[in-house]
Chains A and B, each alone.
Chain A
Amino acid sequence: MRYLSRWMFASGCGALAMVLWPSTALAQYLDPGAGSIIVQVVIAVLVGVGATVKVYWRTISAFLSRRSKRDVSI
């Protein structure tokens, strides 16, 4: 996980949890900017995962192609 620091990953998990279990309470005095902070952490995790997958994609595809060749030979 080259692009994700440990604490940022934890932040991302927290943010994802809030997305998956949303509250419907509405408070006029609350800052809607809180929602924007959560979104950018979720996006950062997704962008980070995407970048990581991109970096390791060759390794993964090489691994998968090796496996499929072995399956064919069996």
Chain B
Amino acid sequence: MPRDPASFRDPAGHVHHSRDGRIYRSILPPGVENYRAARDSGFLAAASRSGRLIEGHEVDPALLRDEAPDAVHVVEHPRLDFISYPYEWSFFGLRAAALLTLDLHLEALSHGLTLSDASAYNVQFVGPRPVFIDYLSPIKYEEGQVWLGYRQFCEQFLNPLLLTAKTGFAFQALYRGTLEGLGSADLGALLPFRAKLNPRVALHVVLQGRLQRTVTIQRTATARKLRLSKTALRNNIESMRSWVATLAPPASQVTPWQSYEQTAQYTPEERGAKAQFVAEVVAATRPRTVWSLGCNSGEYDEIALKNGAGSVIGFEPDAGALNAAYQRAATKHLSFLPLAIDLTNPSPSLGWRQQERLGLAQRRNADLVTCLALLHHLVLGRDLAVAEVLDWLVALAPAGIVEFVPKQDPMAQQLLTWKPHVAPDYDCASVGALLRQRARIEREEVVTASGRVLFAFSRL
């Protein structure tokens, strides 16, 4: 039963994957006392009952006798369908994960516990709902303890959110580069002077960054002696919570999802035809997981979910559309997780030995892939060959829907403004022929007057 390649830092325990897909967590001697405190105080049960913490139940430790002979307890967790990382989350997703971490910390304090860290990688998403997954993060609270994960919280949650909120720069690319978030000193160098006049920014970012840069042996020794009362610790976390809850992306990135639907070049009849095609294909295939490539604000993902799809993972590089998609999923309680991923440059494998955070290709789990109004962006906008795109598409899932948008379509014309001669063989007949070489075309339908065509296919 191999150990999860990302589970190597904590001496208190590790995560193991069984061959039949079950997930087990070993609790090793250094973590036993804190685990029992969290379990016996009722914190683990209460937090998992409320849906904020992943479920877990103890099983026979002998299950891991070969991989973790020292394990005192072994906890089994339900398997999550898809693992995502903070550098793939939308602004609202990262904010929801931040608020969950703070809420759980406050709840832990009520149970005589505190959280030993504040890693964003402790959070996963089930649809748009964040879930805390680390059973070894809660430890016994000792009077006077400071907020142990404060610096990590700032780097992995607060600072990326502030970067986008105060400058409009999307945090994901920087986050993917650093993997551990954004340091306060680095953020201080990026923020405009006006933003630093905010007293909270001045304290949490500017002052913290300066003190981190100017640390000395004496100052470290003094810092070790500093203590906070429980009330002060709680006040600090509550104050952070109330601030984070108000952080929002710039106005240009929070267009309501309804307006994204209105910008598409469809008449109501054409939209209805496209929706019906998607609904019927999904109803016929009943996919457990759909990958929605270029999901936009999630209009057709909602239709897929209403017609029998178990869950949808969306991929959308545009921050405004992504935020709209997340808001749609959250307000309508859809099992839909939209992620900030440009499919021409998807997340690679990163971290220690390049095994700690998996690349997107290694997390493939779709039963159906939808590629609506994306093919022309890849071929006309990003200069990819149709055959290569179709190879990739057919390899992603056993079945799929792909929309062909002709060059004369007004949206495609915009892409061709500065390069009218790109992809000379891009037409419906050749796209259909290339797809037929790779898959069985189950259904084909012209859905707009401009000549947009939907193909439903299944792998040969």
Contacts and interface: CB of A to CB of B under 8 A. Distances in A.
Interface string A7-42: 110010011001100111111001111111111111
Interface residues on B, range: 35 or more
B251 interface: no
B228 to A, nearest CB: 5
A36 B212 contact: yes
Contact of B154 (A3, A36, A42, A48): A36
A5 interface: yes
Nearest to B230: A5
B235 A51 contact: yes
Nearest to B218: A23
B146 A25 contact: no
Contacts of A26: 213-215
A4 B232 CA distance: 8
A59 B280 CA distance: 69
Interface stretch (B2-10, B28-36, B203-211, B376-384): B203-211
A25 B147 contact: no
Contacts of A41: 146, 226, 228
A25 B207 CA distance: 16
Given A36-B151, A38-B226, A27 B217 contact: yes
Interface string B189-229: 00000000000000110011011111111111011111111
B239 interface: yes
Contacts of A42: 203, 207
A5 B154 CA distance: 26
Contact of B211 (A5, A8, A22, A46): A22
Given A8-B227, A19-B211, A25-B214, A44 B220 contact: no
Contacts of B232: 3-5, 8, 44, 47-48
* Interface residues of B, dominant DSSP: helix
A53 interface: no
Interface string B170-203: 0000000000000000000000000000000001
Report the interface size class on chain A. 35 or more
A4 B229 CA distance: 8
Contacts of B208: 35-36, 39
Contact of A46 (B146, B203, B218): B203
Given A40-B228, A42-B203, A43-B204, A30 B147 contact: no
B355 interface: no
A48 B207 CA distance: 18
Given A34-B215, A42-B203, A8 B229 contact: yes
A8 B144 CA distance: 8
A40 B147 CA distance: 8
Nearest to A17: B222
A15 B214 CA distance: 14
B236 interface: yes
Contacts of A27: 215-217
B231 interface: yes
A18 B229 contact: no
Contacts of B220: 30-31, 34
Given A8-B227, A19-B207, A40 B236 contact: yes
A14 B226 contact: yes
A47 B151 CA distance: 18
B114 to A, nearest CB: 13
B150 interface: yes
A26 B207 CA distance: 16
Nearest to B203: A43
A25 B216 contact: yes
Contacts of B423: none
B215 A35 contact: yes
A31 B204 CA distance: 17
Given A22-B211, A36-B208, A7 B217 contact: no
A7 B227 contact: yes
A18 B219 contact: yes
A46 B154 CA distance: 18
B45 interface: no
B229 A5 contact: yes
B233 interface: yes
Nearest to A25: B216
B214 A43 contact: no
14 contacts: A11-B225, A11-B226, A14-B225, A14-B226, A35-B208, A35-B219, A36-B150, A37-B150, A37-B226, A39-B150, A39-B211, A44-B232, A48-B235, A51-B235
Given A23-B218, A44-B235, 6 more contacts: A22-B210, A33-B151, A35-B215, A40-B150, A44-B236, A48-B232
Task: Identify the 10 closest CB pairs spanning chains A and B, nearest first.
Answer: A35-B211, A32-B212, A36-B151, A34-B223, A35-B212, A44-B232, A34-B220, A37-B223, A39-B208, A30-B215
